[in-house]
Chain A
Amino acid sequence: MKIKFYLVIFFIVSTSLTAQVTLDFSGYLYDVPTFYFKPASADFFGLEDNENIYPMNLTRLRLRPTLNFSENSRITMQYEANLLFSKMPIPLVEGTGMTNRQALDLHWRFYNKNNFTAQHFIDILYYKHIFDFAEVVFGRQVISWGVGRIWQPTDLFNPINPANFSKLEKDGADAFSAKFFISDFTDFELVCNFRENQKDYNYGARFRTNFSEYDVSAMAGYFDRKVIVGGDFTGNFFNAGLRGEGIFSYDPDSPDSNYVRAILGLDYQFTSELYGLIEYQFNGRGTACKDCYDFDRLKRGEIQNVGLNYVTVQSNYQIHPLVTINAGAMLNINDLSGYFNAGVTYSIFESLNLSLGGMYFIGSEKDEFWYYPSAVYLSGQWFY
């Protein structure tokens, strides 16, 4: 599979060499020293030491070259090298390695000892060609379906756990996608997501349009050997943004595992400085039974949450054109665990941001968020 992938990319590059190729290059350097506090679940994880604070530092170098063969044809890559120092023994909040939407392992770990891990990987590598009537993309790509700000039930390719504050981008999915333009605001997209074994391939289709000042879409597919149908909408409710999204998952071999997942959200710009949003999620894939929480799938990044009902509120306030504070909270409505998050971001220079923030988790024994360690972090991001 890897050889075929590289051959395709090589073929594309070599046949395009006669074109006038231009290179765009950008990226960033990101560092986030974090201090995790000993969680209430310390005994559960066997943390018998006397440590109360577990330091971690993640340094990420992200390179984003784009080779433009023409206005309508390009190869885009995002490569990352990162160095992780972690004395945090609980692996709940950092996911690395190949995901379940990737066929090729383009991830290499070249050092892993003494609390240090150094690795690099290709997160995105795709060829895109735009025709008058369609665009096709082949390779590891971001497929952004869904309209939710925190949860996206229809995003079956690259979801991010909202509790993972150091993750800035969605993981790429190995796929071939074709989007057909029906009108300026109507398109139809087909996706085939490759896996290592052909029988594990995932397939999806989405129809998107704009109707009566609402963006609406309907999707269907075959993901993880289940039939999925769903859709979303987003528009204005008076001057507020209103969005809703949902899927129904059907497994013909195991009807008991069928579920519905849906979100409903509102957001509003109250003043020129203050923005707020509220979002509710019904996660039919989850459970209200604390002993039944599926943390294995959560750790692998296959799901975002393990519980049934959630609500979150988030806000931003610009206290100065260069300084924004954010604050929010998330609650698992069934077990009443959750977290508070707060932070401040300062734009020191045009290309350099500094942030200070924290997440404080609350919950009783075996509640979903009881397992998570609270943390404070400082991050710097330099763009070039």
Chain B
Amino acid sequence: MRLRGLYLLTLLLVALPFIFPDNYYVTVVGVTAAVHAILAMSLNLLMGYAGQISLGHAAFFGMGAYASALLTTRWDWPPLLAMLFGLIFTAVVAYLISRPILRLKGHYLAMATLGFGIIVNIILVQAGEYTGGPDGLSDIPVLALFGWEIDSDLRWYGVMMAAVLLVLWLNLNLIHSRMGRALRALHTSEFAAETMGINTTATKSTIFVTSAVIAAAAGSLFAHQQSFVSPGSFSFFFSIELVTMVVLGGLASTYGAIFGAIVITFLPELLVVFEDYEVMIFGAILMLTMIFLPQGIYVVVEQRLLRWWQKCWLQSGESGGAT
């Protein structure tokens, strides 16, 4: 019941490459959308559910990507080992900064995470000896899973979509667990959460690390898929884009985060026809959405559909009773 959406999405994702074989929007833009969806879901855990804003999420994405890129190109580590190292490294860094940073609230937390994101980006640019500086690192080897090389668009489509479904499954389970309830509780009132016996510091720290590690995993996959990384992909602007995805879909809605990621990825592709006005129209769409649907597009549509459905259900029930 809880996982119904997950099953539907699985069907859809499996069907798409059959319905549209060799379609650029499915296997190329779709894969980018998948990376964005994973990132948006991870950020939504922190922002949507726990209520802790982060303007530096791209940094964790970058840490995962650069760990894979560096270790596989410079030191010839096997890709999976490099990925694992990247995740552990990101977890340690996220844990170390979470304690001081999550004491802050609201704008101050936003500022601190923003600063962290910028620092990481500066390191990527400045440590050119290792990271290749602004030019980045190229020729990242192909990722192979048990001898199966992921070397085509279609294979990447399969791997990324599997990753999306896995993260979605993790999210849905987490949200409905004891931990998920604790997150929503501390979002509402930290004081009340403490009187319930929730260790708010530890809970916030746990979700911050979880969120960062998921982002790093996305980064590692992204590095192998692109076979090239540069600091531009992990900048402050990308952090803001991720926040936009989460807010656009609707805070505290996992499917909303996926929806936001899809919109933000595909909209620019569709707006290409407007050429020079593309960015302006993109901005206008975002503004209008936030003015008229501040709860997020996905959340509002879901509520309306649910209400409509219930109405139909009631009416059919009444007419059934009358006859």
Q: Is A bound to B?
A: no
